[in-house]
Amino acid sequence: MVDDTLAAIGDFGEDPWLVITSFHAAHTPFHAPPPGLHGRSLKGPPRSEARAHFMAMVDALDAEIGRLLAGIPPATLARTHVIVLSDNGTASKAQHPDRALRVGKGSLFEDGVCVPLIVAGPAVSDPGRGSSALVNTTDLHSTVHVLMGAQPGSEAVDSLSFAGSLTGRTAPARTWVFAERFQLNPPQGRWPEVDRYAISDGRFKLNVDVFGGSTRLHDLDSDPQERVNLLSAPGLSEEAAAARIALERTVTESLKRGAVMAARHGAPGDEAGDDQIGDHKAGDDEAKGTDDRKDQEDTDPVPRSDVLPRSPLMRGPLRDSLPSGTPLSGAVRLAPRLAEETVLAGTAVLAEEMFGEEVGP
């Protein structure tokens, strides 16, 4: 992968280019990477030591990204923007023991949808800082266009450039992030139908299971692991109540999700169906304010062996290969929980936040 990428960059010469390198690791099937790419002691087989092998694969991924950056000529790297991110959360089998097993990939909890975003390059001012700007992966389309001096196509209506957050000169363009998961009319007897969505303004997050009839509201600042459903706790604050109303309005008025889901079902769109806000269903555990996150994930139909890591961590070779223009981190929710020390300038903090342990040699 790295050899092919370096060859492609060399072929472009002085022409503008965009190269996307999609590493498979760290993904199932978990395995032991070549010893030269990691320094971990792997004792058992991957099936019984999934997390250890997963972490070794993350180390190997980091080493290969470092080799890629080291192989780009310095003059070319100095004018190149490097964007690193993952596409979804950590595999359940590879979750840290302190994390709930059912809130990783496939769920709409933060462990499933929150990933780091790291950007290095000439557009990054004050390198080494973090950002709390809300970003969705669809925003890469418009951002890359802007960084290359082009205008995004008119069809990119869901993509908002975050280039202004790299310079810090403009306010973040995005005021909410949205994720959904739906499986309609699945093969009979294989999976249940699923219709779930989550929307967040950066602090408050609404998580709705339409078919299950449950609605959750979380304050990510005080409850980043989404253990307490504010709709079950006594005394919902005016601020939280207002945030819920605003998020619901975005779903019904801006996203028009009811009509969209009707179309997905093959039925005519119905504006009256836009209010797909699940009726709140509180169990005894919710009323006590305990960890009740399993209510939306117990019927998760995704095969749990089909997993991706929460993110590659930037350490060692990668950190040393970026002499200038270091990172902007914090896609969606990570940066606020890392205070001022982030990513390449504070990898141990990132590693502890993501995996509960240090990554790399």
What DSSP string describes 295-358? GGTTT--S-TTS---S-----THHHHT--SS---B-STTTGGGGTT--GGGSHHHHHHHHHSS-
* Site of tokens 């819920």: 244
Two structure tokens written together for 19: 């190269």
Q: Is the peptide bond before 29 cis (omega within 30 degrees of 0)?
A: yes
What DSSP string describes 243-284? HHHHHHHIIIIIS-HHHHHHHHTTS---GGGG---PPP---H
Task: Report helix, strand or coil for 195.
Answer: strand
Two structure tokens written together for 138: 């669809």
- C-alpha–C-alpha distance, residues 245 and 236, integer Å: 13
Q: What amino acid occupies position 204?
A: F
**CB of 211 within 8 A of CB of 268?**
no
**CB of 220 within 8 A of CB of 206?**
no
- Hey, how many other C-beta atoms are within 10 angstroms of the C-beta on 31? 16
- pLDDT by residue for the chain (361 residues), tens digit each? 999 999 999 999 888 899 999 998 888 888 999 989 999 999 889 988 989 999 999 999 999 999 999 999 999 999 999 999 988 888 878 888 777 766 788 889 998 898 889 999 999 999 998 888 999 999 999 999 999 998 888 777 789 999 999 988 888 889 999 999 988 888 887 778 899 999 999 999 999 999 999 999 999 999 998 999 999 988 899 999 999 999 999 999 999 998 888 888 775 444 434 444 544 444 333 333 334 444 443 333 332 222 222 233 333 333 344 333 333 333 332 332 322 222 332 233 333 333 434 444 3
**CB of 240 within 8 A of CB of 227?**
no
* Site of tokens 């269903």: 281
Task: Report helix, strand or coil for 181.
Answer: strand
* Site of tokens 């022409």: 15
* Site of tokens 């030269």: 36
**Phi, psi dihedrals of residue 271, rounded to the nearest 5°:** -60, -30
**CB of 324 within 8 A of CB of 74?**
no
DSSP 119: E
Domains in the chain, please, with CATH? 2-175+305-355 (3.40.720.10), 193-296 (no CATH)
Task: Report helix, strand or coil for 61.
Answer: helix
The pLDDT of residue 148 is 92
Half-sphere exposure of 178 (CA within 13 A, CB side): 17
* Site of tokens 């760290």: 26
Half-sphere exposure of 148 (CA within 13 A, CB side): 15
Closest C-alpha among 10, 341, 301 to residue 183: 301
Element (H, E) at 238: helix 238-249
- Hey, how many other C-beta atoms are within 10 angstroms of the C-beta on 21? 15
- C-alpha–C-alpha distance, residues 259 and 265, integer Å: 10
**CB of 19 within 8 A of CB of 148?**
no
Beta bridge partners of 217: 206
